Structure 1
Amino acid sequence: MINLVLLAWLLVGFIHIGIPLAYFAAMGRVASSRNYGLNLSNDWEPTVSIIVPTYNESPVVEKKLRNLSEVDYPKDKVELIVVDSASSDGTAKQARKAFDEMGFKGAVLEESERNGKASGLNTGLKRASGELICISDAECLWNKETLRNAVKYLSDPSVGSVSGVHASQALDANLAVSMENSYRSIYRAVRIGESKINSTPVAEGEIQLFRRADLPGFDTRIGGDDTDAALSMVEKGLRAISAEDVVFFEPTPSVWGARFRQKIRRGQHVIQAFLAHRRLFTKRSTPTGIIFPMEFFLYAINPILFVPFVILTIWVVAIFPLVLYPGLAGLAVIILVPSLRQMGATYLTNNVIMLAALYQEARGNKQLTWEKIEENRLQ
């Protein structure tokens, strides 16, 4: 019995911790040592329709549009479409004022009721005339070269979706922000590594580009419109990549409750998209055949293993009291070393967050619309 408990603990620990760490290390190495293997043209300048869906974005919409007006791309080739989903705070009025002041080509569209982000994107898509479609959330900002850098990747016909990488603007160094930065550094390396192998299944709605001809619309039954659209490109035989020189800025909620709500919703939306594209499990190509199942494991299965791993750990300590002393010593090191403390806290909170996301999905609460997180606003 004792040997079985110890064996089970080692096995679950290897699957729950060992396999993810090995995968993260492998993707990090790929990210730093390979290129994307693409034939790119820096001179290609197609027309681009930028769709910005909004709901009660009055604190940020003017700053967002001003940021878009400063991008390094020919103004006559950029069309901006703001789609407001029945805001109650004058977002559409502010957007129109910014349009007039900044001389945008495009339109501010208003929906009579709020039906979710994907619905707003579809409304914008019907109005869009650009060769490329770019979606971007209202609370994020870009570097001046972000759009141009993203466009060049679609000059290679093998690419169907281009997303970017996150750089936090939060200046305070509280634990919530530090943990998010720690998580993002790993997340970024994994997305870039997967992209350089072939495709990453998880995309970022802060900036994502497609060819208009490849994008029929967004599925309104799924919250993760960005990941869902990226996986649709993979199903078409195209690549979906995160580009390391396509940088965006988004504030990290410094309040614990806000951070948890945001990450639970986002985690749940990724799971929804994965389930909608479960056909990718049968893809025979080596890159997709490895990456998609691994990401599904990381998001949907591994968090569940957190529960038996904790139970077995307590059981092993109870059976083998001598294990407690090196365990406490290791815990002390983790607590005393800031980087290890951040990693440990990130491990614990991410597992709790994904368990909550799985619970929300299981009970049918899709979170296709949600209350705005006021802490998550660019200052």
Structure 2
Amino acid sequence: MSDPPKASQNEYWSVDSQPAKLSGRVPLWKAPAVLVTFTVLGALSLVVLQNDALLGSFFTANDWVFAPVPGQHFIAIRHFLLAFFVSFGLFANGSAIVRLKFIADLVGSFLAICLAIDLLSIFLWQAFDVPISLRNLQIATGLIGFAVFSARLYTWGEMPAPVHMAVTPAHPLRSFGRFGVLVVLAGVLSWWVNKLDLQSVSWLRGRALLGGLGPGVFLFLPSLFFMMYLLAVWDRRKEKETKDFAPDVTIVIPAHNEEYIIAATLQAIDKAAERYSGQVTVYVVNNNSIDGTFAVANTTFDHFAYAKGRVINEPRPGKAHALNTGFAAVTTDLVIRIDADTQIDPDSLRFALRHFTDPHLGCLGGVPNTRGRSLFERARLAEVLINHGYYAIANTAIDGQVAIPGMFAVYHSDLVRQLGGFAFGLNGEDSDMSMRIGELGYRIQVDPQVRYESEVPASYAHMREQRMRWFRSAFHITARCREATEFRNPSLRGWLVLPIMLLNTAVRTMGIPLVIFGLIELLEPFDTGPRPLWTAVAAVILGAPTLVALGAVLINKTPRAILYLPEYTVFRMMRAYFTLESMLSIKLSGRQQKSPIQLPELEQITLPLAPEPDTLEARGPASV
């Protein structure tokens, strides 16, 4: 594949960057203001808490712990969370009164839960002689604090209206059963290793890779996901494929101001069509472009040798509008959506479509690739190998994968029609579609052999816009698919995966403040209590994610990405900063969630009518 042209010179901003009803722009000063406020508030209030005699008599643990419990801890996690709640709320996106109410709700909810937990720990200690150590108490309340933040932001924030959806996963008992068994096995393994005095573990802990955590705590999640990954690979080997299965397929490409790269994207498709025996039809949906996208696409189609294509004009701005217009013209059973800045590998079509001999497969994705030509590209390679080449595949073992990114996604066209097309006015229309297809009872799969190169932002501004949009999508998809989270619907995605997505977003939002607070406790000269280990502070930046990244790189047989792990570590902190900005963009209102959108019966839903003939330009070796 030849080198793609230079990166776009536009501002990368579109109607999809920031859904107007759900979010607002975040000035560049706002996140630094949150961090400065947090640093001052956290440090000063910590000095008062740890040095005031009256407060010290009530809170003997040097944290807001309401009961004397045995043991000690190395970070005042409750104090950290309360300081962050106030600092974040002061600069959140809402009126002054709404922000104050939001802060009161966050602080009040968290303190009430902490009080209940402390009283329960006293009861267990006094009634049954089962003391809960302070460290374990703090770990539990820390996780609860992250959950409280994500839950209250979800409730107070403006969210998409939920859609009335069918929640009929194919094998809920198998999914929950597999997950339960793997959790037990991971717990037993972690407990067993914890009983061993391994010098290798001590060495890792001393170098901040375990962050001072016991090996049992450290091993649980990595071992759980590794077993899930192995199970997914086992499932994959049991699949029955017909390698020469090559049905006709349509590719839909939404394009907004993509003159600079659309030719490379189309040329890559034509090369892939050369190795694919089925007919490949391409629709470029020119979505309100003001550059030469239309002309460049048509010129490229004129030189097609193996595929054939058309340009469709869709004047309404928005990727969902472009996708729905393109899908309306599709007549094949299978359809692929590809982003306009994505170049697929020559074998991607034949590798992807042969899976669809299985009628229960509803959606399939691949693994992105980069060439490592810049800092962002090198860090992005490590990121995609972890998220797409490891975690996404592991999730398929329990039918828990939610998102198949729109960079490259294969669907049954009738399923997209049944679900009413792609949703407009939210972030994550691709995840919404794959999530709902999975909840209909179809498999969602990722094939690491299906590779493609998608443009990595070359500038800070572009990366910021992209990540703020991506990180909001976890909240938007959870709200949109709210019915999957209800108790009456036995959905592992709804009950477990979506809440974990929100929890993970909360953890990432507080990543940089947690490092700052660790340094405050480590260096603060008036601290009278135990100080955190420097390894525990460093592990927020390094720690377990570094070891998981190394494993994912090796599993995906991409050794050159090992050299990029230091840059990926820096990128993770930048990603945490963008997550903080993304959460600050969510509009607060405190209004109740809207009632589900009532759609017609699924089989009656159709996409908009195909465009009029004069908006279609046939190109390629033969007319479509």
Q: Is the 8 A contact 1:117 1:223 kept in 2?
A: no
Q: CA-atom RMSD, angstroms?
A: 3.4
SS of structure 2 residue aligned to 1:223: coil
Question: Does residue 228 of structure 1 match 2:432?
Answer: yes
Out of 302, 327, 343, the position equivalent to 2:507 is 302
Out of 268, 286, 292, the position equivalent to 1:67 is 268
Q: Measure, in 2, the Cα distance between the counterparts of 1:220 and 1:141.
A: 25
Q: Measure, in 2, the Cα distance between the counterparts of 1:330 and 1:222.
A: 36
Q: Is the 8 A contact 1:197 1:287 kept in 2?
A: no
SS of structure 2 residue aligned to 1:279: helix
Question: Does residue 163 of structure 1 match 2:369?
Answer: no
Equivalent residues in 2 for 1:1-379 (5 A)? Answer: 1-3=59-61, 5=63, 6=73, 8-9=76-77, 10-11=138-139, 22-23=220-221, 25-32=223-230, 34-35=232-233, 36-37=235-236, 38-72=239-273, 74=276, 77-102=279-304, 104-113=307-316, 115-172=317-374, 174=375, 176-188=376-388, 189-216=390-417, 217-282=421-486, 283-286=489-492, 289-299=495-505, 301-306=506-511, 309-310=514-515, 313=518, 316-317=521-522, 318=524, 319=527, 323=531, 326-327=534-535, 330=538, 341-342=566-567, 344-362=569-587
SS of structure 2 residue aligned to 1:234: helix
Task: Please report how far the alpha carbon of residue 21 of structure 1 lies from its aligned counterpart in structure 2 after TM superposition.
Answer: 8.3
SS of structure 1 residue aligned to 2:411: strand
Q: Is the 8 A contact 1:139 1:250 kept in 2?
A: yes
Q: Measure, in 1, the Cα distance between the counterparts of 2:536 and 2:416.
A: 54
Q: Measure, in 1, the Cα distance between the counterparts of 2:226 and 2:263.
A: 37
Change in CA separation of 1:253 and 1:2 when aligned onto 2, cut-off 3 Å = farther
Q: Is the 8 A contact 1:182 1:342 kept in 2?
A: no
Q: Measure, in 2, the Cα distance between the counterparts of 1:22 and 1:94.
A: 52
**Cα shift readout 1:353-375 (whole Å, capped 9, x = no counterpart):** 222222223369xxxxxxxxxxx
SS of structure 2 residue aligned to 1:284: coil
Q: Is the 8 A contact 2:372 2:378 kept in 1?
A: no
SS of structure 2 residue aligned to 1:3: coil
**Cα shift readout 1:208-236 (whole Å, capped 9, x = no counterpart):** 01111111211113232211110110221
Q: Is the 8 A contact 1:222 1:228 kept in 2?
A: no
Give unmatched runs, 5+ long, in structure 1. Answer: 365-379
Q: Measure, in 1, the Cα distance between the counterparts of 2:499 and 2:359.
A: 25
Q: Is the 8 A contact 2:320 2:424 kept in 1?
A: yes
340-349 or 16-25, which deviates more: 16-25
Letter in 2 for 1:166: P
Task: Please report how far the alpha carbon of residue 165 of structure 1 lies from its aligned counterpart in structure 2 after TM superposition.
Answer: 0.9
Task: Please report how far the alpha carbon of residue 315 of structure 1 lies from its aligned counterpart in structure 2 after TM superposition.
Answer: 5.7
Task: Please report how far the alpha carbon of residue 111 of structure 1 lies from its aligned counterpart in structure 2 after TM superposition.
Answer: 1.9
SS of structure 2 residue aligned to 1:109: strand
Q: Is the 8 A contact 1:53 1:85 kept in 2?
A: yes
Letter in 1 for 2:299: K
Task: Please report how far the alpha carbon of residue 195 of structure 1 lies from its aligned counterpart in structure 2 after TM superposition.
Answer: 1.9
Identity of aligned residues (%): 19
- Structure 2-normalised TM-score? 0.52
Task: Please report how far the alpha carbon of residue 344 of structure 1 lies from its aligned counterpart in structure 2 after TM superposition.
Answer: 4.2
Task: Please report how far the alpha carbon of residue 153 of structure 1 lies from its aligned counterpart in structure 2 after TM superposition.
Answer: 2.4
Q: Which has the higher contact order (CA 8 A, sep 6+)?
A: 2
Task: Please report how far the alpha carbon of residue 136 of structure 1 lies from its aligned counterpart in structure 2 after TM superposition.
Answer: 0.1
Give unmatched runs, 5+ long, in structure 2. Answer: 1-58, 64-72, 78-137, 147-210, 547-562, 590-624
282-291 or 241-250, which deviates more: 282-291
SS of structure 2 residue aligned to 1:45: coil
Q: Is the 8 A contact 2:378 2:564 kept in 1?
A: no
Letter in 1 for 2:587: A
Task: Please report how far the alpha carbon of residue 86 of structure 1 lies from its aligned counterpart in structure 2 after TM superposition.
Answer: 1.9
267-276 or 279-288, which deviates more: 279-288
